[in-house]
Amino acid sequence: MPNMRKLAGRGGLYTLLGAFAFFGAFPFYWMVIATFKTDHDLFSPLNNPFLFNEPPTLDHLKVLLFETHFHTYLTNTLWVGLAVVIITLVVAVPAAYSLARWARGWGEMLGIGIFLTYLVPPTILFIPLSRFTSSLGLQESLWSLILVYPTFTIPFCTWLLMGFFKTIPKDIEEQAMIDGLSRFGAMSKVVLPLSISGVLTVVVFAFTLSMHEFIYALTFISVSAKKTVSIGVPTELVRGDVFQWGSLMAGALIASLPVAVVYTFFLDRFVAGFTMGAVK
């Protein structure tokens, strides 16, 4: 009898997880289907929409890759992402180290203050920032995004790195300094190599957060050739009023999956940042 109960419990567990996985992933399955379906199959309301009623086709992919700006969106996203990663690292690593090592009184307040700025949403900042970037002559330029995206990567990544640096015992640096390294040398030669996983996490997040960003890109950029994937795909792959569903879904899918795979590996660390390191 206990075996039966256990089996039923397992069954229930799989059903529950299956239902949630279905709910989470179905829109992406839907993208896969649309990507490879012929237009005729896609737009016949009587066809079973879950199956290929006609042989699959690569036409939508060809249109996406050769007749749209999709590859430009990808390159733009890549450039913006890389630049934001570099700026974030250059600013957040020293700040986090400083807060982790010398934080007493004011330092702790400052750390919390930096974290709180993460809660000031782009929906409040985008109007003044749009004026600001255009007064610098950066309208329709990727530089406007590179300048503004660190507003959400720096606070979050500083906070995240601070947690990492705090887990490295001070003795290690002190020993290195006794052995003749300067504080800076101890930081760059001893502490940074030890916190490489923290730095890697920051690289991943600065990049994915930049790639996910929507409001600033929508507000600052309207020229098709300068768009990033997160706004290019939803706003440009529409001819007049007609959605090119096949290519649209292909674009959404191709841009989503790689970043989702990488992000999943780092998700737990991302959450450690959210819970403010309170849960170990």
Q: Among residue numbers 230 through 249, which ones bind another protein (CB under 8 A)?
A: 230-231, 233-234, 243, 245, 248-249
**Is residue 14 part of the contact set for another protein (CB under 8 A)?**
yes
Is position 159 an interface residue for another protein (rule: CB under 8 A)? no
Does the protein bind another protein through residue 223 (CB under 8 A)?
no
Q: Which stretch, 53-61, 62-70, 145-153, 189-197, contacts another protein (CB under 8 A)?
A: 145-153
d(CA 241, CA 29): 25
Local structure of 242: helix, strand or coil: strand
Q: Taking CB under 8 A as the rule, does residue 27 contact another protein?
A: yes
**What is the spatial distance between Cα 108 and Cα 100, in angstroms, rounded to a whole number?**
9
Applying CB under 8 A, the span of 63-71, 138-146, 194-202, 271-279 interacting with another protein comes to: 271-279
158 lies in the site for another protein, by CB under 8 A? yes
Rounded-to-integer distance, Cα 23 and Cα 57, Å? 27
Give the pair of three-digit tokens for residue 280. Answer: 């170990």
- DSSP E strands: which ranges in the chain? 238-239, 242-243
Rounded Cα–Cα distance for residues 234 and 50 (Å) = 23
- Name the residue nearer to another protein (CB basis): 1 or 124: 124
Binding part of the chain for another protein, among 61-69, 78-86, 169-177, 190-198 by CB under 8 A, reads 169-177
51-70 positions binding another protein, by CB under 8 A: none
Q: What are phi and psi of 239, to 5 degrees?
A: -95, 110
User: Measured in Å, how far apart are the chain's first and last C-alpha atoms?
Assistant: 38
Among 212, 223, 224, 225, binds another protein (CB under 8 A): 212
